[in-house]
Amino acid sequence: MTLRTYTRRIGVPLTMGAASITVLALTAASASGSGLFNGCSFGSTPERAIAKAIDDAENSASGEGLFDCVVVGEPLVWWDGLRFRAAVDMACT
């Protein structure tokens, strides 16, 4: 058995093991991260539009496994001539 054969025999499992650990580390880092989500909606009152926009952002965050959310900044509310519209930004972890 030559040194070249021995290197191939050891090198492949070591490379596969290192790749597996790298993928596991990157997955764990992204799973523990946080995100900024924007929710938009409409309603007959400003309060209802804001509540529905918050629900929209929380639903988006829960799809990525982030369930603890707080509002960032002030909600934007405007009247479009027919109903109130709202937009909120939420940081979720």
The Cα–Cα gap between 57 and 78 comes to 18
pLDDT at res. 21: 56
pTM of the model: 0.65
Whole domain around residue 19: which residue ranges? Answer: 1-32
Same domain? For 12 and 57 the reply is no
- For the chain, how many structural domains are there in total? 2
- For 5-64, the DSSP string reads HHHHHHHHHHHHHHHHHHHHHHHHHHHT--EEEEEEEEESSHHHHHHHHHHHHHHHHHTT
Residue 60's CATH number: 3.10.28
Output the tens digit of pLDDT for each of the chain's 93 residues.
566 665 566 655 545 555 455 544 444 445 557 899 999 999 999 999 999 999 999 999 999 999 999 999 999 999 999 999 999 999 999
Same domain? For 28 and 38 the reply is no
Same domain? For 22 and 56 the reply is no
